[in-house]
């Protein structure tokens, strides 16, 4: 098996993504941290999202050969340690707007199967020998983001043209989104609280004719374009409503261009729209991390 990876910092101060790698246990993955709405800064000024994704990266990286726990058990332990680290830093676990959080998508590859775990908007996509694509995971955050993006698009239509003003329009919506983490009406994420275990997705697939696996954070998506003069776009649907189409397109673009080339092309596109007006999104450039596992 060959492995390619990329992790590119976006327009924020810290790269809140992390690559997960433990070759002794054949564990590979990505984590996507999210900054708490109440600002937190670590010993070197790190954000809470950076602290969360780095903890998950360190935890999986230090596991030793012979560990017989499954990925669900391992990830639950990483979540518990995240909670303990927040408590040690004085972050109250009952205050969701202060929590350090991270999504995760990880696999453990064996001779005959692939075990996977997922939470948040990190994704896992399989490619088979017949060129068919299978999406193993679901973006649990997209439906929350889409409501905020509708407000963003309407503000652009009304003439707002700076990212700072646009962000103020959605701030209240983002606060409400955080309150619904790890609930049946919200989204799944590692946040140090015990209920996170009920919302992780876990499974095993066989390796029959499996050609490759793509694991990625949501920064790899090409944002949907938006024309504020076009009234027909007031109800633009989220890509997540057709996940197989969006993920298949992304996978094929990455295979055609190469992982690094695709990532740098996307960053250049985003930089052409610094105020996030043409492509409605919450920051000029999100962090971008991915792994491509080639079984050929």
pLDDT digits (tens, 9 = 90+) for 19-59: 999 999 999 999 999 988 888 999 999 999 999 999 999 99
How would you classify residue 272: left for phi > 0, otherwise alpha for psi between -120 and 50, otherwise beta?
Answer: alpha
Supply 81's token pair.
């340690």
Residues in the chain, overall count = 296
For 218-275, what is each residue's pLDDT tens digit?
Answer: 999 987 764 445 544 433 333 333 333 489 999 999 999 999 999 999 999 899 888 8
- pLDDT for res 232: 42
What's the predicted TM-score (pTM) here? 0.88
Express each pLDDT in 63-74 by its tens digit: 999 999 999 999
**pLDDT tens digits, 83-115:** 999 999 999 999 999 999 999 999 999 999 999
Distance CA 254, CA 282 (A): 23
Q: How confident is the model at residue 292 (pLDDT cuts 50, 70, 90)?
A: very high
Strand, coil or helix: 191 = coil
Q: How distant, in Å, are the alpha carbons of 37, 49, 118, 179, 204 from that of 97? A: 5, 12, 22, 7, 33
Which tokens is 185 given?
């009406």
Q: What's the count of helices (H) and strands (E) in the chain, helices before strands?
A: 6, 10
Beta-bridged to residue 215, according to DSSP, are 124, 291
Residue of 102, 124, 105, 58 whose CA lies nearest to 196 = 102
Residue 296 has pLDDT above 70, yes or no: yes
pLDDT score at 225: 60
The per-residue pLDDT for 2 is 95
The C-alpha atoms of residue 53 and residue 34 are separated, in whole angstroms, by 9
| Site of tokens 């020998």 | 129
For strand 288-294 and strand 133-135, is the pairing parallel, antiparallel, or unpaired? unpaired
* More confidently predicted of 236 and 185: 185
Choose among 125, 92, 46: nearest CA to 290: 125
Question: What pLDDT score does 171 carry?
Answer: 74
From residue 149, alpha-carbon distances to 153, 207, 227 in Å are: 6, 38, 14
Cβ neighbors of 43 (< 8 A, separation 6 or more) are none
């Amino acid at each position: 098996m060959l492995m390619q990876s990329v992790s590119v910092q976006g327009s924020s101060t810290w790269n809140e993504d992390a690559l997960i790698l433990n070759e002794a246990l054949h564990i590979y993955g990505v984590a996507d941290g999210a900054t708490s709405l109440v600002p937190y800064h670590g010993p070197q000024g790190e954000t809470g999202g950076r602290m969360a994704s780095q903890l998950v990266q360190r935890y999986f990286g230090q596991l030793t050969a012979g560990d017989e726990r499954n990925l669900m058990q391992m990830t639950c332990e990483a979540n518990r340690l995240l909670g303990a680290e927040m408590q040690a830093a004085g972050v109250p676990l009952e205050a969701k707007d202060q929590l350090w959080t991270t999504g995760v998508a990880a696999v453990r590859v064996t001779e005959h199967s692939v075990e996977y775990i997922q939470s948040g908007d990190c994704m896992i996509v399989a490619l088979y020998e017949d060129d068919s694509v299978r999406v193993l995971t679901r973006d649990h955050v997209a439906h929350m983001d889409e409501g905020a993006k509708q407000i963003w698009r309407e503000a652009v239509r009304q003439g707002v043209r700076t990212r700072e003003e646009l962000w103020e329009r959605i701030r209240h919506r983002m606060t409400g989104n955080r309150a619904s983490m790890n609930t049946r009406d919200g989204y799944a994420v590692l946040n140090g609280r015990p209920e996170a275990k009920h919302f992780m997705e876990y499974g095993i697939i066989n390796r029959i004719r499996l050609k490759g696996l793509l694991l990625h954070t949501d920064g790899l998506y090409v944002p949907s374009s938006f024309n504020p003069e076009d009234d027909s776009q007031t109800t633009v649907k989220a890509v997540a409503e057709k996940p197989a189409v969006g993920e298949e397109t992304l996978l094929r673009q990455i295979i055609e261009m190469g992982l690094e080339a695709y990532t740098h092309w996307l960053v250049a596109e985003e930089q052409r729209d610094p105020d996030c007006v043409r492509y409605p999104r919450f920051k000029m450039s999100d962090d971008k991390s991915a792994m491509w596992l080639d079984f050929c």
